[in-house]
Each structure stands twice: as C-alpha cells, then as structure tokens.
A = this chain, B = another copy of it.
C-alpha cells in the first residue's frame, strides 16, 4: 500500500512531462475503451444492481442510491460525450497568469501548475470515476480513487477499462490512476500527508465530516449545502414560483437545492407562493427550530424578513457559503445582494441549481468548494482575496436545460 502511494507521488513528474497531446490521446483511448467495453461494464453494473436490490429490500440503502447506481447505454453515451468535452477544452496547467519585469533580465512569472496527488472518495454514482479521471489526466494530476461499496463491480470495470486504454499511450505512467477498495485503505490514505496533496470527498455530510476530522491533508469540498432564496418586494409572481420550485424540487438531494426561503414582508404574493409550493408536494416549515438543517428532501424552511439587509444577515449567519439567490426586479438590491452575500455562488433571478461545473461550462466538476483561501508563494493583496461566481439571469430554471428544451451556449464574452 505504502508502495502505491510512493509510486503515485513519483508519477507526478512523469505525468507533468507528457505533452497535452499525449494526455488527450489517453482521454480519447478511454472514450473508445468505454464504448468497446460497454457490454462488460453494463454486466458488472447489473451485478451491483442485483446486490443493491437486496440491500434496498433490507432497508440498508435508499431508493435514491439504488437509482443513481444504474447505468445504461444512454448514460454511457453521456459519459463518452463528457470526455470529448474535456478533450476540447484547453488545460489550464502551465498557463502564464502574468509576467512582470523585476529588473532588467529578472523576469517573474505566475504560472499555473498541477496540485499533485489527489485522493477522491465518492459514493454510489459510478460515472464519477470517469469524470474525475478525465479531469485529473487533463490537468496532469495523479489520482487515487475510492468508490462506494455498492458500485464496486462497476467501478472495477471502469478502472480496468481506463488502465488498458492508457497502457497504449507511449510514456504514460500507469501509476497516475489508482483504485483503492476498502475502508481500511481510506483510513490509510488519510494518514499519507507526505504523499497526498489533496483529498476530495464527494458524498453525504457524514462522509465529508468524517474525512475532515481524520486527516491533516487539505480537504476540498463542503459538508453542508444550506442554500437560500430571498424573494424581494418587487419579485415577479410567476417567475418566483417557477424558480423556487426548480431550486427545491428539480433534484432535492443535490447540495445546491434550496433549503430556506426568505420572503420580504411586503412581497404581495406570499400566500399564493406558499399555496403553490404545497400543491407541488413541498412541505413548508414556518419558524423552524433551526435554520441550519439540510433537508435534502422536498421540505423548505420559510421566514419572513423585514428588509434586504435582514436577508443578507440571515444568509451570512446561517448559510454554508455555497449558493444563494435573490429574486427581484430592483437592480440596486440585486447588486447589493451579489456583493454582500459571502458565498461561493451568488445569483440574481435564476435557480440555485445552476451552480454546477457542467452548467458553468467547466466540462465536468470534481465537486463544489466552499473553501476561501487561495494563496501560494508571497501573499500580497491578491492572496487576501478569494473569488465568487455570480450569475445574472432572467428567471431561467435548471429543469429546462435538463429536459433539453434549452441548451447552454458557453461562450466567453
């Protein structure tokens, strides 16, 4: 085991020396590999589904986990398309961010470079293994993967496909992609601060908390997603209904689904909105005993607030700095909200469900981070800043993009 971590660390240099073309070749091979091994992968998945069915009947896992486990030809096709999306993007490694003359013949550059060895621990969804591996290969990072026990046959089939695909790329270090299997393996990995640069847990709050509390390696991610929508005085009636419903119900267990609805006391359609949400199966909790519960279900806390300022204070106090939105026709209020809410993603007039790597045009994501500290090297003013993502929209909801009714343009302007 220690041998694997050592070799993973050594693979960093070899991987970094490969050209981007070679890495794209590896990704291309993986895409072909998945296509060619589709039957083998789906057979393995069927084995996992058979085992999971028992666990479902015994109440050991939820229906949601069972559903997420299932792969079919369509899902494989989406995964293959995802790999091609990543190939098409330019790798951000070795990009010169800026260049400065300190003196004649004394040139300083700030350039991007890989993080190193990344351990990723994920639960049921087996497509994660392909997404993460594609991103780490493209960015010259070494990865150590640990999937959920429920998906172990599927994960093994994907891993074997990945390894046999990259074997054919000259000079590609096979030690750059690793799969570990047991809880003991994870416990071991968390102690390897000498070899591993970053841990990314993807899954339940309890998984993330367990990892944060049991390692000295930096952890990327978030334990909870307490997202808010503030409905301002001037917000439009139908648009509000549409956006709040999408934010809560489009995928209630997602981390970017809304948990608390803050409504301005002078919003005239309050009762109508509540009625509408109830009719659509949302359970409304007025004056909950706390505002820090992530329901991950069709349940929504509702609070009436006196002002924009109250809403901002509530969010900065109870939120998890994940994703928060204001619905308003008042531009000044919108800008104040976007500026003052201290979260990684802050939106105007769109669903909270937009905070997602695919939707942002990143090709894929390894997770959503609520970390705030970004600096390396001498830390001046730039190092005292973090960044946030802002969306200014026109009442768009995620459901329309999931259904295919609308399509992203992802055009830099």
* A→B interface (CB under 8 Å): 9, 12-13, 16-17, 86, 89, 91-94, 97-116, 118, 135-136, 138-139, 141, 197-198, 200, 218, 220, 312-313, 316, 336, 339-340, 342, 344-345, 350, 354-357, 359-394, 396, 401, 406-413
Contacts and interface: CB of A to CB of B under 8 A. Distances in A.
A116 B342 contact: yes
B412 A99 contact: yes
Copies in the complex: 2
Contact of A97 (B93, B381, B387): B387
A113 B411 contact: no
A340 to B, nearest CB: 5
B102 A359 contact: yes
Given A106-B396, A396-B103, A367 B390 contact: no
A377 B368 contact: yes
Contact of A360 (B118, B345, B380): B380
B387 A365 contact: no
Given A139-B381, A377-B389, A381-B89, A16 B356 contact: no
Contacts of A354: 102, 106
A356 B336 CA distance: 36
A302 B278 CA distance: 74
Contact of A100 (B102, B218, B361): B361
A355 B16 CA distance: 24
A252 B39 CA distance: 64
A381 B103 contact: no
